[in-house]
Structure formats: C-alpha cells, structure tokens
Structure 1
C-alpha cells in the first residue's frame, strides 16, 4: 500500500507541475501592458498639464509685453480708449516726446506723415511697413484732399492709424485773421469726423507756422499743437534726384535724439525708405510711441 500511495502522489505532483508550466502568458502580459499604459497615460497627462501651464505663463508674459504703453502692438490706434491718467508722455516746448514720470522709456520716437491723403497704394505701403514694425504714426491731412478722396482718409482710419489736422488749404496761418484760422482748422475737424466718426486730437500747422492765433484756435478745439523736432527733408527732394532713400536715412539719423518727433510726408521715396529707416532706428535701441499715450491739452 505504501508503495502504491507514493506512486499516486508522485503522479499527481507531476501533473500539477505540468499544468503550472503550461499556464498561458496572457494574464502576465496584460498586467505588464496595463502597467506600461498607465505609466504612458500618466506621463502624457503630466506633459499636457505642464504644456498648458507653460502656454498660460507664456501668454501672460506676451500680454505684459503687448500692453506696454510705449509701443502699440495690441491696441488699435484711435479706437482704443486711454484715460488721462494713462498718458505716459507729453510734448515739450521743442515738440520732443518726454516721459511724464520716472521709469518710462526715454529713448522713443514719434512718427508723423504730412500732406495727405494722396494715393491708396502709397498709403498701404507706408502702413504695411508700420504694421511690420508694430508702429503707429500720425497722418496729418489737408481738408481739400479729404474732400477730393474721402475713401483715402477712411483707408487710414480703417487701418488703425491716428489722423491729425493739417489745415484745409495748407496755407501759412500765422498772418491770417482768427476767423480764417478757425475756418482752416474747424472745417478739417468736421470733415474728418463726418468721414471717420472721430475728430482729430493733433494739429500741425502747414510750414510749421501757426502763430499765436493758430495755437489759440487749436486749443479751443481740444487739439494738441505741434510742429516737429527732426525733419527728414523728404519734401525738398525731386523725383529724378538720385539716392533719395539714402538721403532720408542720413537726414534723420544725423538729427536723432531721445524723444524725436520726426516729420515725413506721403511721398514715394519716403514710403520706399521707411522699412530701412525703422529698422535702423530699432537697431539703435529706439521704440515708437503710440500717439494715444501722449498727453492732450485740457479743454
């Protein structure tokens, strides 16, 4: 009996061992795969969460940079409303742009274009370049030109560039009567508002000669009176004159200083030189003031 019992036990052990050895690997494999997938999902979730945090932080940083009050890159020109307490700059007696408080960027430039609006292609070329450099410029317009081509004024406005008053007929105002000066300034205020929905807040007298009466009438209309502190001299150049773009670069850079209020015109050679000019100014460490941050006279 003992021998038979031992034999039976041995046979049972052998059968049990065989069953264990032939057990399918699928369960172990599934467990391993499940563990790997959990690790992968966990890793991807962690990556997405980190990416989302990084995107959020980056967006926050970008917003801070875009909302800097010196250079306009996210604001929309005239359509953006800036309170009096947010005005960062003012013009001094020499018409330079000066910070209102410590800490504001001093190495800034105000860009301006006179005597328009003239041609759609030239306006678009100038504004394309301004947009490329995230810059704004005041376009000082004449009333008689606006009357002839109101669509050009609307083009400037629709492309989010500020519009200034440059008198109706581009005449010297300093020797004119107060009634004539009022007519020259106020008719431009009206036609610009009728065309765009907004009246100008900047005034530049033709030839830089407005006189005391011009200053008085400008102030009565809530206009900031200005001439310029750096002249490109583009208006002195002739169509067939060689190297005009180089001359513009030279004229501006030789006079350049912090707060420069640069006078340019809607002229083909100025439009051609503008990209190189703005690039050079940026390389010198200058930024472009958004005109909406310049302090206006009290009404």
Structure 2
C-alpha cells in the first residue's frame, strides 16, 4: 500500500505541473493577440487557414478608396479634375443637307420645321459678336460663323471669343476671293490655311465650308471633301450685304427678305453687320412665331445626300 501511494502522488504531481504549463502558455498567446488554431477538418485532416478578423474601419477605408492614379477625375499629381464627359458628348446626327443646301431630317419623327443660321465674313468686332451671341443665347440657338483667314490672323482673339461663346466655326477661305477659276494649288491653300489657323487657335478644325460668293467650283468641292468639310452655299439670303448704313427700315427689310423665302430646312445667310445684329432678336422671334426652331449645326451629317 505504501508503494502504491507514492506512485499515485508522483502521477498527481506531474499532472498538476503539466496543467499549469499549458495554462500559462495559452495565457501568453492570448495576451500577444495570437488566436488558437482551429481544429483539423474532417475531410483533409489538416488545419484550415485561419480566417482573418475584420479590420478596423480606418484600414477598410484606406483599402477601398481609389487611388488618384486610378481615378479618371484626377491628374498626375492626384488633384481632382472636373468631369467634362457630359459636355464632350457628341450631338446626335439628326439631319443632312440636300443638293439645294437645305437641312433635311434623317427620320420622319425628327422635326423638319427648322432653319440653319449662318454668319459670313468674320470675325470683325467684339462689339458685334457679343450682342449677336447674346441674342442667340436668348433663343437657345446655335449658328455657323464662316470666317476668313486673313481676319482671323489679324484678330485671333475674336475667333476665340466666338468659339468660347459656343459659335460653330466654318471655313470661308483665306482671302474671300472667287475660287471657281483658280488653280487647284491656290484653292487648296485658300481652304487649308484656314483649317490650320482655326485649329491652331481653337484646337478644332472647321467641319463646314462655304465658298465666297457661293462660287467654289468643282475644285473647291473636291478639296473641301478631301479635308472632311461639308460644302454648302445657302438657300435663303437675308440680303443684309446689300444694305447701307444710311438706309432706313433695314430691320424690317431684312426680316421681310428672310420670311418671303422661308421654308422648312432653310439655310439662312447673314453677316456680321450692325443692322443684322440689331434685327436678329426680332427675326428669331418672328421665326419662332411661325413654328420654326433652330437646328444645331453639330447635328448635321458632313456628307450631302
């Protein structure tokens, strides 16, 4: 009995010491932030990787926020930039030009009672351009401004003014000369020099070409097409170029000239002239009163049908 008692005491003492060691080890792991390993899976007999504990909120925010380089609205330095995608969206091509230079809808559901507003021989003076643009803005209207290269060279700031205020820039040749009897080399220079200077100043080359005096000839049409330009003259003339400063009743005469020829798709020719600027608000109001709206030039296909 004495021998059995000693063995029992020895075993109990060993078990007690082993239990104390395990308890101290688990306490140390817990204090250090270590997690106990999960039990082995029944399928593989090996321990599964421990599932990561959810991170604190600040760390989560840092991980999910896009970096400046990945954001389309940030520049190289990570500075947020305005999103111009909406402004840069293309205007739907709803119209085309026929051989009479009228504007025609592409589908039966598109409004056909529209007119195209155009102004030739600029840019001339800010004192004419600003009130003209004010009137267009008032009527929510867009227009093509067919410019001459020599005028643009003399006053590039006026071209910038038209462009910045939403005017659509058109090509009206460099020197405003009759092109139909000129050599192909000269016609090309007259047209392409304007393309180049307008793009240099505004960043955009014109897409519309109107030959001076409506006389471009076959060579003018060929070179315009080669530069991606829609060639046009006009279908309604305001005859504002025939009026003089001393003439009376110019506003009434201009409006009468336009309305007497008015039809759906009218391509209206006007100029940057004081009396045209003065008459424009009344003219546009009159056209609206007759049920017409103003086509956005950007909605016109660049190929004649």
Alignment TM-score, normalising by the size of structure 2: 0.70
Is the partner of 2:182 in helix, strand or coil? coil
- In the other structure, the counterpart of 1:133 is 139
8 Å contact kept, 2:124–2:158? yes
Alignment correspondent of 1:296: 302
Secondary structure in structure 2 of the residue aligned to 1:264 = strand
Q: Give 1:102 shift.
A: 1.3
Q: Which deviations, in whole Å up to 9, do the C-alpha atoms of 1:56-111 show, x marking residues without a partner?
A: xxxxxxxxxxxxxxxxxxxx9xx64427xx31000000000001111000100000
Residue 227 of structure 2 is aligned with which of 221, 224, 229? 221
Q: Which residue of 2 aligns with 1:275?
A: 281
1:159 to 150, 165, 182: 165
Matches within 5 A, 1:1-299: 80-82=88-90, 86-297=92-303
Distance in 2 between the 1:183 and 1:265 partners? Answer: 24
- Give the whole-Å Cα distance in 1 for the aligned partners of 2:224 and 2:190: 11
Task: Say if 1:201 and 1:81 are closer, same or farther in 2 by CA, change over 3 A.
Answer: farther
Structure 1 consecutive aligned stretches of length 4 or more whose deviation exceeds 2 Å: 79-83
Q: Shift in Å at residue 160 of structure 1? A: 1.1
Greater Rg over alpha carbons, structure: 2
Gaps of 5+ in 1: 1-75
Q: Distance in 2 between matches of 1:251 and 1:167?
A: 26
d(CA) in 1 for partners of 2:168 and 2:102?
18
Mapped to 1, the partners of 2:261 and 2:169 lie a distance apart of 25
How far apart in 2 are the matches of 1:82 and 1:151?
26
Q: Which has the higher helix share?
A: 1
Q: CA RMSD in A?
A: 1.3
SS in 2 for 1:255: coil
Listed as ranges, the gaps of 5+ residues in structure 2 are: 1-83
Equivalent-residue separation in structure 1 for 2:97 and 2:173 (angstroms): 20
1:186 alignment partner, SS class: helix
- Aligned partners of 2:148 and 2:194 also within 8 Å: yes
Alignment partners' CA distance in 1, 2:218 and 2:244: 33
Cα distance in 1 between the residues matched to 2:203 and 2:302: 19
Aligned length: 219
